[in-house]
């Protein structure tokens, strides 16, 4: 095909995808199981080879011998929208940051008001995209981590996958710090682009970064735990293989102390079987009439009679109302972790933090003192002081 054919409107694209949804759904579900034969694809489009040829010519499908597959751009689009993508794209966030820097530079040098506003909108959209992509990468990282540990049968590959995911976790964290540094350093842009939409976008993106940073800390802890478990299981597997080898050579009694160890132990499986009462669920007794009849017959056979029970008083309308008690407390650990991920001094960060409830200046001062007392070794005192509403406080940063 010399000239690339393409869709000329959204309407043409959506109509074509809707008409061939049966074929695309079948190919998408089997994208990892098999190469889709061209003959089966023709059957799924009603035997019309021209319809299949149009999908190939317009770049929706790609021919590979006697098989077809979904083109990578469309495949990535379907996986992204359906949230089934297994790839963690750190480069996409880095591209957003690079494009952000370019558009901020264009904004500062542009003199035309209309084009200046266009660059400002581009920056706002790129910031939102960077926050969204970061959160999505964190979710994909968590899912891939669980799948690698629970589904991969090869211990060597399993450990290598977890180590690679750990590296990607550090890369995502580096991208977060770079984007936060960009927002903190570009004071000239944010002063000139001072509008409520930009301020809200920056606040939302910073909140996304804090949420992603906390999730990454838990993922790092879980990856380390998984790798340690793999090492322990691998050591146990090697010991079992060694014992099997000695048993085959009839040397297990002379070369090991296995018999002595077993004689000193009294494992539960060697004891007599304990009798455990089985209690039927209330749901089964309410819904299964046959089970109730059997229980009545057993009770009659054993001379058991039904004991009378008093009924509880009905619930009042006040009992059925929803009672909510809101505790306006602050999790100091969560505030401290968020402070470590920011570049502000401690008191300024406490004033900006989103508490979801109104706080007084006394509350801010108390929280400031509490965090300094709880984390003295992690605080870096500059020796400078500042004043906020007649309160003089030292300027402290995280180490």
d(CA 203, CA 193): 15
List the one residue out of 96, 125, 248 whose CA is nearest residue 198.
Answer: 125
b/e for 85-97, b at 16 or more Cβ within 10 A? Answer: beebbbebbbebb
Confidence of residue 1 (pLDDT cuts 50, 70, 90): very low
pLDDT digits (tens, 9 = 90+) for 117-136: 888 888 888 888 888 888 88
What pLDDT score was predicted for residue 307?
55
Instruction: Name the architecture of domain 10-82.
Output: Orthogonal Bundle (1.10)
- Catalogue the E-assigned strands of 280-378: none
Q: What is the pLDDT of residues 341-397, one digit of tens each?
A: 777 888 888 888 877 777 788 888 888 888 888 888 888 888 888 888 878 888 888
DSSP string, 58-120: TTSEEEETTEEEE-HHHHHHHHHHHT------HHHHHHHHHHHHHHHHHHHH---HHHHHHHH
Residues linked to residue 69 through DSSP beta bridges, in sequence order:
62
Q: State residue 305's pLDDT score.
A: 67
Of 56-65, 67-76, 272-281, the poorest mean pLDDT is in 272-281
Helix (H, G, I), strand (E, B) or coil at 383: strand
Query: Which helix (H) or strand (E) segment is 398 a member of?
Result: strand 391-398
**Residue 119's closest CA among 204, 198, 199, 206?**
198
Residue with tokens 């000193």: 264
CA dihedral 103, 104, 105, 109 (to 10 degrees): 100
Could you tell me the CA-to-CA distances from 298 to 30, 279, 303 in Å, in that order? 54, 15, 9
- pTM value is 0.50
CA–CA distance, 207 with 219 (Å, rounded to integer): 18
DSSP letters of 325-344? -------HHHHHHHHHTS-S
CB atoms within 10 A of CB 102: 14
pLDDT bracket for residue 114 (50, 70, 90): confident
CA nearest neighbour of 396 among 342, 322, 321: 342
- pLDDT confidence of residue 63: 84
Tell me the per-residue pLDDT of 18-53, one tens digit each, with 9 for 90 and over. Answer: 888 888 888 888 877 667 888 888 888 888 888 888
* Ranges of each domain in the chain: 10-82, 90-238, 332-398
Contact (CB, 8 A) for 93 and 175 = yes
Residue 315 three-state SS: coil
Give the max Cα distance, the chain.
Answer: 98
Q: What is the CA radius of gyration of the chain?
A: 32
The Cα–Cα gap between 157 and 151 comes to 11
Buried b (16+ CB within 10 A) or exposed e, 110-134: beeeeebeebbebbbebbbbbbebb
Q: Are 93 and 130 in contact (CB under 8 A)?
A: yes
Percentage of residues of the chain with pLDDT beyond 90: 0
């Amino acid at each position: 095909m010399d000239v690339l054919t393409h869709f000329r409107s959204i309407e043409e694209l959506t109509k074509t995808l809707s008409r061939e949804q049966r074929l695309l759904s079948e190919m998408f579900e089997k994208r990892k199981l098999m190469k889709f034969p061209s003959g089966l694809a023709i059957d799924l489009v009603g035997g019309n080879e021209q319809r299949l040829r149009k999908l190939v010519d317009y770049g929706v499908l790609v021919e590979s011998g006697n098989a077809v597959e979904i083109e990578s751009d469309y495949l990535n689009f379907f996986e992204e929208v359906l949230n089934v993508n297994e790839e963690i794209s750190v480069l996409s966030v880095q591209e957003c940051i690079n494009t952000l820097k370019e558009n901020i530079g264009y904004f500062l040098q542009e003199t035309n008001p209309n084009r200046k506003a266009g660059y400002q909108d581009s920056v706002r959209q790129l910031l939102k995209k960077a926050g969204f992509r970061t959160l999505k990468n964190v979710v994909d990282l968590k899912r891939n981590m669980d799948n690698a540990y629970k589904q991969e049968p090869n211990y060597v590959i399993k450990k290598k996958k977890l180590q690679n995911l750990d590296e990607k976790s550090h890369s995502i964290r580096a991208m977060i710090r770079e984007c936060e540094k960009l927002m903190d350093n570009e004071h000239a842009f944010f002063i000139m682009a001072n509008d409520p939409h930009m301020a809200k976008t920056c606040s939302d993106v910073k909140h996304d970064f804090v949420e992603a940073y906390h999730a990454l800390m838990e993922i790092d802890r879980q990856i380390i735990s998984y790798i340690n478990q793999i090492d322990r299981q691998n050591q146990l597997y090697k010991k079992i293989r060694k014992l099997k080898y000695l048993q085959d050579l009839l040397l297990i009694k002379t070369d090991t102390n296995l018999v002595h160890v077993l004689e000193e132990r009294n494992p539960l499986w060697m004891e007599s079987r304990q009798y455990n009462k089985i209690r039927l669920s209330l749901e089964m007794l309410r819904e299964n009439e046959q089970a109730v009849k059997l229980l009545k017959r057993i009770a009659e056979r054993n001379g058991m009679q039904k004991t009378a029970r008093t009924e509880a008083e009905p619930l009042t309308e006040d009992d059925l109302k929803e009672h909510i008690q809101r505790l306006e407390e602050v999790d100091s650990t969560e505030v401290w972790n968020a402070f470590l991920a920011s570049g502000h001094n401690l008191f300024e960060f406490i004033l900006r933090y989103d508490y979801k409830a109104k706080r007084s200046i006394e509350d801010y001062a108390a929280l400031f003192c509490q965090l300094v007392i709880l984390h003295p070794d992690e605080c870096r005192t500059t020796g400078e002081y500042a004043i906020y509403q007649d309160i003089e406080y030292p300027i402290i940063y995280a180490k």
